[in-house]
Amino acid sequence: MPTVLRSGPYRFYFWSHEPNEPPHIHVDRDNFSAKFWLEPLDLARNHGFRPLELRQVHRLVEEHQAELLEAWHDFFNDNDG
């Protein structure tokens, strides 16, 4: 489960066994978790983040979208078999 980015209390990562899903990122803080599709950017699920904080997390994903996509493609292209 490669961690791609840390920003404040948030950890941005993806699971290495999810290559058949569209590019996405998981974001955790404490016991809260969210998953965002990266192309196009959209919330896939939320577990525990309140709306205000979820908007802040969404902005962070948006700010780092290009680097998150690059990390996704680099990892899964390098591990294709």
Q: What percent of the chain has pLDDT over 70?
A: 94
More confident call, 62 vs 21:
62
- Altogether, the residues listed in the chain come to a count of 81
Cβ-Cβ contacts under 8 Å for 10 (sequence gap 6 or more): 27, 28, 29, 57, 60
- pLDDT, tens digit, 9 for 90 and up, residues 22-51: 999 999 999 999 999 999 999 999 999 999
Enter the tokens of residue 5: 């980015």
**Cis? peptide before 23, omega within 30° of 0:** no
pLDDT on residue 49: 98
Average pLDDT, integer, range 43-72: 97
pLDDT at 1 over 80: no
* Beta bridge mates, 32: 29
